[in-house]
Structure 1
Amino acid sequence: MQISITISVVLLLTMSVIGDDVSDFTIPEIPAEPLGQVYLSESQTDKLYATTLFGQARLEQRRRQFANALQLYQRAWRYDRSVVSISNELIPLAMGLKRSEEAARYASLAITEKTLDSQTLMRMAVVLTRNGSYERAVQAYQMILARKDDSSIQLPKALISAELGRTALLAQKNDLAARAFDDANAALQNPDEAGLTPAHITQLKGSTGAIFLAMNEVYQSTKQFAKARNAIEQAQQVAPNAAMYALRLAGLLLAESKPQQALTTLQIYFDSKSLEAKADPYRLLIKINEVQHSDVAEANTRSIEQLLGIQQTQTSNHYIGYTLAELALAAGNADLAIEQLRKHLPIQPILSGYQNAVDAILLQHSNDTPLTESAAMELAWVLGHVYSRSRSLAALQQQRIAKITSDKVLLSRLEEVAFAYVVDDRVPADTKISLKTFTSHTAAAIGLLFSDTKDWQQAEKFFELAIAEAPRQSGAVYQNWGAQLLMNDQRISAIKTLERALNSEFVRNKATIHFLISGAYLLNNQNEKAVNSSKIAAEQANNSPRLLSRYPWILYHTGQLEQAQQEYTQLISKLMNLQTTPGTASTARDARLTLSTICQRLGESDDAVEWLEQVLDTDPEDPGALNDLGYLWAERNEHLLRAEQMTTKAVAADPDNSAYRDSLGWAYYRLGKFTKAKAELEEARKLNDSDGIIYDHLGDTQLQLGDQQQAQKMWQRALELLDAEKDAKQIDLIRKKIEQLR
């Protein structure tokens, strides 16, 4: 103990002496030469940035900030694909956040990477199939099956072949599907050799035999009938069903050109009185008769007779009724068609039934024999039913609507009977009332018809009647009425109509009315009212992306950029919690693109870049964002190789877009590729001869190519085209360039 104390004292004294003796200390001189600098290439810079983003993403993921992590991973992948694994980082996060479209988008981009293991490809194929990207999923399955001795795959290849067959069928690649199913069948015949356990076999066959039904469809389409029969037999073994077995065999027999045997076998299904196959057996009967009778009229007559016979034993079978109506229409038998529709539409209403009812009634009308009042009444009711389903007539398709609206005699007859029905509840004598509907629906439908003809007097009359008949449900009528007026540039009338709606106790809080009237006010330069109404629409939007976006959109279009920027930013935050709501993705995309434009106009170029980056995070192939960001970078003289790549992609996606071609031309210019720049800018000018920016860029390019006369000519044309107020800064720059040439 004593020794250690002594040593400590000595050390303390020594340190004190050393600490005081600094009088002769001199500062070392640093050599005058600058330190060596390392310049990174653009690709090296991108890789470094991607690595940094990846680290940030990892940190956000550990903090359970999954949305932030996903965005960082996405951007890291875009800057350098070697840094991030789509399958390990991107897709699991996207699926967990219920952003399946993004997951499928990245899966589609990733499956071409040869480094992916088979288990990863399997997961990608499943994601792609769920999102309808069948061809890409097929590609993934093919890549897996092409590999030999792959230890990363945990399933026997027979199961993968079955999935390939099913997916190829969805992609309408039936020859490929047939080959894949051949492999699956071969494995079933030799399960031990194929490595199939009893559990695998059960998994392959399923509980319903669905895989064999897919095989049957594929083999019939490729005319491999023996294999199709075997598939039908196997499906029957897995899930016995005598009626469906007979139907499947009948279909096969017809494919084999054995119509009589097909008819005999199909009768087994009819005798069972099953409804399981819906309308398929009755359509198969029609096909059989078309094969047996070369004369179409004779075939139709025979089918109608047989279907009527079956209907006598199954009077409530609406599948027979609707098939009969459709066939009767094709045969020109409008009376039979409408008879069937009167019977089944009130009990089992379907859209195609209403469409056929319109066709059947119109079939009774001609210039020589105009539609009777009773038939016109039925037509008005059918239109009312269609309106009641979607508050629109769009489901009837424009071709049907045009047949009505283009016929003045028919329109006049409809107006007469509909008015009498709505006002006085009068129905023409001998009218069958099975298709009767509410007066308000009938009036609204006729109002829409007259809107289509731009007969605003008649349209107003019927819309007024619809509102009076059902004031509590008048919101949809006002909405349709106002929308029709707006679409036809009747803004004053639209404002009057929609303001009246807002004075109604039943409509004043309806967000869609505020949405519409804000647009009408904007068109009429009533900006303050437009802003107020759009704000109410957003406040009452009930999580509708479209309604939520109205307020910032109006602010932007009224020139209130700072407030629009604030509201759009808040909108993006709200939409993050609405990922599964239809319309969210497209609304968020549009909001970010608009925010980028706002930031550019406010001189906040870094933020403008960031918003475009966010669009590309969710969709790396978005042409609009690729173009805009590529152009921004070219303007800033940054990331020029990436700018060239991005604008090239945009042009490839839409070669006739002049703005995209201008952006690519400008990227070439910044890279010093002036000949290429000129060619691209000339293409842009051909597509749009009234864009001053294109002419300005052409002037700059001509100057670099040594043609001062052409450069000055292009700049002069640019001055003629640019807007003196909006483009004041650009105009000033062009004038300075011209002055420098003098």
Structure 2
Amino acid sequence: MMILSPYILTLMQLLMTTSMQLQLEDAPKKVGPLPKLTSDSKREEAIKLYGSGLLYEKENRLLDALRSFEKAMELDPGALSPRKALIPIYMSLDRIEEALVQCRYVLERDDSSLETFALYAKQLAALGKIEEVTEILEKLMKNPASKDKPELRLQVLRELSLRYEQASNWEKSEEKSKGVADILEMPSAEEVLELTEDSFRKLKAENYEMLGRLALKRKDTKTAIEYYLKAQKLDIVRSGRLGLNLAQVYASEGKNEEALLRVDEFLQTQPLGTEAYELKISLQKKMGKNKDVVPEIELASSRDNHNNSLKLILARELRINGQIPRAEAIYEEIANQAPSTEVYHALFDLYRENKESGASRALARLESSIQAVSRKGGIPPDPSQAMQVKAMLLALKKDPEMLRKILDQAYNQLVKGGKIGLETKVALGTLASRASELKAGEKLLLVSLSESTPNSATESEVYSGLLRIYRMAHKYQEIISICKEGLDKAKNTSRVLFHVEMAGAYTHLEKDIEALAAIDLAINESQDREKLFSKRYRASLLAQMGRFQDAEKEALTLLRDYDQPNEVRDIRYTLSSIYSGMKNHEKSEALLKQILEADPADATANNDLGYQWADRSHNLAEAEKLILKALDLDQKLRDTSNRLTFEAENAAYIDSLGWVMFRQGKLKEARQELEKASNLPEGSDDPVVWDHLGDVYFSLKEKQKSLESYLKAINLYQVVRTRRDAERVKDIKQKIELLELEPSKK
């Protein structure tokens, strides 16, 4: 979950308390085309409903208020007040997408609505859409309504400075911080901003510290020191922290003795972070005082016994000095008392150093904790071990090499007749399916399935993991078999899952009648969100079968039948894919643009629009921006994800980036990205990636590599088996014929 900074929280409070007069009759101020004017009777009824909604809201009858505001909006689409009133209600009901839609609608027509700006920025920040938050705050600074509100401008500038600093845009960040300084230096600023003398001095000191930090980023150490000294004079409490800032400045100038003196002053405060300790260790090693590192960190740790981050540094330095048993003892102590991803990452790294027993020890530790959580036979389970399991799995998610070693160990253990608990096998099998470790995953999950009882808590995980493995291995007959078994025996797994998976497998095997029968069963047995997914999947299957007109007709029907923003987004995406298959690029791209208008941070739509443009050598510069944005959004999503399974980079997005680079003639960059995509789990068996890589090698005149890539693509097309394979294979064979006429690169 994204944590909002103190700046933006304060900004929200300021904006939310700004007195705004909401007029139902406000005419839209810009953007067209606007809705047709409603009749007087409808407008009067809308006003009454709006008034009723306000009363319901005052009485905390939110659902009644919601219905009244929505009906008023329906009767008078051009009125903004019902839409403004709906936004906080949608937010309180967690209908975020609908809240965002109304925010955009209102701001396009009334950019003076500071309250709506606040709500919009708050939701974007909570969703991690940092670029959009920055854009909104910049618009707010240019808004005439904010010019007479120095307290508002102060908070916006502080927030913008922080965001630009996080984005490494030092120039912009410094510009905003200087804007903060200008406000703080204006006459009677303390009274205008309604701050106490102490708060005002701290605010100025904080801004000077920011300016000093930014000056240091551009290597202006003289100015940085001036700012830091100003901050020290204003805020004595902050002086310790500023001692660290000055130490960093002196260190950057090579004044190690002065820097060490300053950092030692700061460490007297026993800070929670590790930045100062790391700086001190770095300085000691530069000055040849390596022998002092472990004793001094050990002393600091004994004085600050609850600082686990400091203990991790101590253990690391002990390992560097060859004191492995002592380091392991510290890791074990921390793991037992306060399990975390960091400590298990370090412990597994230590295990890795022992090539013979490292994976075995890691597996044993994981097995012990999992079995402690799920004890049976009258022995009480140990709930505290759940935190241990979670920390270990998250550590393995970030360490695919160690995960592979543990999976190999588990596989070999089972092959040799060794025992592993059912819950451990399921957990490892699920991890294996996500990390594309197919052989180990299949063995673990098949054994788990044979040991599972109907209606067991692990049943759904086992079936889902097996189906994923068979799908990645293109074992379509095995998918059908396991789905039939699941439909007959499973008690705790969605039947819709089995029908959908069977439909996909039958389609790959070109058994269209069976595929449509399976997806129709999925539709009949599904409810709500599952039903829409099944219907969209049916339209997609029809397109794969080459029945594009039928697919288009069904998708258009869905677009008429569903009206919720998230539903409309999904249907538009399905229809866009159908039009792409029909080579109707205009309609396909128009739908992707509509998705991005509603949500500019939709990673899939950004990638697909960028890829389509690249594939047609159209709008290449803009296509590259869209694909880079998709990759950035995907990275942020993975960075903030709490999923316990391994999540590799998105091979399709990286392939798109490589392809747009190729289209722009950037062959070196294209090669780098496409080789990266070909080494990822989802890219290694994607024929499109290998076809693209073959084209890059062809252009680089690397004949042998180009031929190998083309042959790999042909082989994968034959394994994957989709309807357009013959056409694609024919194209590749023609390229191979041309390749044979080309001279090899000398």
TM-score, normalising length: structure 2: 0.54
Q: Distance in 1 between matches of 2:180 and 2:248?
A: 26
Residue 550 of structure 1 corresponds to 537
Residue 590 of structure 1 corresponds to 573
Query: Secondary structure of the residue that 2:564 maps to in structure 1?
Result: coil
Residue pair 2:548, 2:578 contacting (<8 A) in 1 also = no
Residue pair 1:515, 1:537 contacting (<8 A) in 2 also = yes
Cα 1:388–1:687 change in 2 (3 A) is closer
Deviation string for 1:419-456 (max 9, x for gaps)? 33438xxxxxxxxxxxxxx5455663686599616357
Matches within 5 A, 1:671-686: none
Residue 34 of structure 1 corresponds to none
Residue pair 1:572, 1:588 contacting (<8 A) in 2 also = yes
Does residue 349 (structure 1) correspond to residue 331 (structure 2)? The answer is no
Query: Secondary structure of the residue that 1:342 maps to in structure 2?
Result: helix
Residue pair 2:232, 2:242 contacting (<8 A) in 1 also = yes
Q: Distance in 1 between matches of 2:200 and 2:402?
A: 47
Cα 1:565–1:202 change in 2 (3 A) is farther
2:184 to 188, 203, 206: 188
Cα 1:498–1:310 change in 2 (3 A) is farther
Residue 577 of structure 1 corresponds to 564
Residue pair 2:174, 2:214 contacting (<8 A) in 1 also = yes
2:485 to 500, 505, 511: 500
Deviation string for 1:485-536 (max 9, x for gaps)? 2101122223333433333443343654554444233323444554455456
Residue 678 of structure 1 corresponds to none
Amino acid in structure 2 at the alignment position of 1:395: K
How many residues are paired up? 547
1:377 to 356, 360, 364: 364
Q: Distance in 2 between matches of 1:335 and 1:451?
A: 34
Residue pair 1:341, 1:357 contacting (<8 A) in 2 also = yes
Cα 1:364–1:355 change in 2 (3 A) is same
Cα 1:58–1:649 change in 2 (3 A) is farther
Amino acid in structure 1 at the alignment position of 2:36: Q
Residue 290 of structure 1 corresponds to 282
Q: Distance in 1 between matches of 2:101 and 2:303?
A: 52
Does residue 478 (structure 1) correspond to residue 463 (structure 2)? The answer is yes
* Shift of residue 267, structure 1, vs aligned partner: 3.8
Residue 168 of structure 2 corresponds to 172
Q: Distance in 1 between matches of 2:189 and 2:206?
A: 24
Does residue 454 (structure 1) correspond to residue 439 (structure 2)? The answer is yes
Residue 650 of structure 2 corresponds to none
Query: Secondary structure of the residue that 1:420 maps to in structure 2?
Result: coil
* Shift of residue 195, structure 1, vs aligned partner: 9.0
Query: Secondary structure of the residue that 2:491 maps to in structure 1?
Result: coil
Residue pair 1:162, 1:181 contacting (<8 A) in 2 also = yes
Query: Secondary structure of the residue that 1:419 maps to in structure 2?
Result: coil
* Shift of residue 348, structure 1, vs aligned partner: 3.0
Deviation string for 1:676-714 (max 9, x for gaps)? xxxxxxxxxx99999xxxxxxxxxxxxxxxxxxxxxxxx
Q: Distance in 1 between matches of 2:173 and 2:281?
A: 30
Residue 359 of structure 1 corresponds to 349
* Shift of residue 402, structure 1, vs aligned partner: 4.9
Deviation string for 1:294-333 (max 9, x for gaps)? 289x64x754444444444555544344444555566665
Cα 1:58–1:590 change in 2 (3 A) is farther
Q: Distance in 2 between matches of 1:260 and 1:483?
A: 55
Q: Distance in 1 between matches of 2:610 and 2:277?
A: 54
Q: Distance in 1 between matches of 2:548 and 2:594?
A: 20
* Shift of residue 181, structure 1, vs aligned partner: 2.0
Moved more, 382-391 or 172-181: 382-391
Q: Distance in 1 between matches of 2:485 and 2:181?
A: 69
Does residue 153 (structure 1) correspond to residue 147 (structure 2)? The answer is yes
Amino acid in structure 2 at the alignment position of 1:288: K
Query: Secondary structure of the residue that 2:36 maps to in structure 1?
Result: helix
* Shift of residue 476, structure 1, vs aligned partner: 0.9
* Shift of residue 190, structure 1, vs aligned partner: 3.9
Amino acid in structure 1 at the alignment position of 2:228: A
Does residue 396 (structure 1) correspond to residue 398 (structure 2)? The answer is yes
Does residue 249 (structure 1) correspond to residue 239 (structure 2)? The answer is no
Cα 1:120–1:283 change in 2 (3 A) is closer
Q: Distance in 1 between matches of 2:598 and 2:548?
A: 25
Query: Secondary structure of the residue that 1:471 maps to in structure 2?
Result: coil
Residue pair 1:373, 1:413 contacting (<8 A) in 2 also = no
Cα 1:162–1:295 change in 2 (3 A) is closer
Residue 5 of structure 1 corresponds to none
Residue 681 of structure 1 corresponds to none
Q: Distance in 1 between matches of 2:533 and 2:359?
A: 44
Cα 1:619–1:334 change in 2 (3 A) is same
Residue 618 of structure 1 corresponds to 598
How large is the Cα RMSD of the aligned pairs?
6.3
Moved more, 469-478 or 192-201: 192-201
TM-score, normalising length: structure 1: 0.55
* Shift of residue 340, structure 1, vs aligned partner: 3.1
Residue 58 of structure 2 corresponds to none
Q: Distance in 2 between matches of 1:419 and 1:372?
A: 15
Q: Distance in 1 between matches of 2:610 and 2:73?
A: 22
Query: Secondary structure of the residue that 2:286 maps to in structure 1?
Result: coil
Deviation string for 1:333-384 (max 9, x for gaps)? 554444333333344333333333322211121xxx5548556533666899
Cα 1:470–1:197 change in 2 (3 A) is same
Q: Distance in 2 between matches of 1:67 and 1:656?
A: 49
Residue pair 1:159, 1:204 contacting (<8 A) in 2 also = no
Q: Distance in 1 between matches of 2:352 and 2:428?
A: 19
Query: Secondary structure of the residue that 2:338 maps to in structure 1?
Result: coil
Amino acid in structure 2 at the alignment position of 1:419: G
Cα 1:612–1:332 change in 2 (3 A) is same
Deviation string for 1:391-438 (max 9, x for gaps)? 999723434445667xx7x67765579933438xxxxxxxxxxxxxx5
Q: Which has the higher contact order (CA 8 A, sep 6+)?
A: 2
* Shift of residue 172, structure 1, vs aligned partner: 1.9
Amino acid in structure 2 at the alignment position of 1:553: S
Amino acid in structure 1 at the alignment position of 2:365: E
Amino acid in structure 2 at the alignment position of 1:452: E
* Shift of residue 187, structure 1, vs aligned partner: 3.4
Residue 420 of structure 1 corresponds to 419
Identity of aligned residues (%): 11
2:474 to 489, 492, 495: 489
Q: Give ranges in structure 1 of 5+ residues lacking alignment.
A: 1-49, 74-84, 271-276, 424-437, 632-642, 662-685, 691-720, 724-742
Q: Distance in 2 between matches of 1:574 and 1:307?
A: 66
Residue 33 of structure 2 corresponds to 53
Residue pair 2:433, 2:441 contacting (<8 A) in 1 also = no
Q: Distance in 2 between matches of 1:390 and 1:585?
A: 39
Amino acid in structure 1 at the alignment position of 2:260: Q
* Shift of residue 98, structure 1, vs aligned partner: 3.9
Amino acid in structure 2 at the alignment position of 1:265: E
Residue pair 1:229, 1:249 contacting (<8 A) in 2 also = no
Cα 1:372–1:305 change in 2 (3 A) is farther
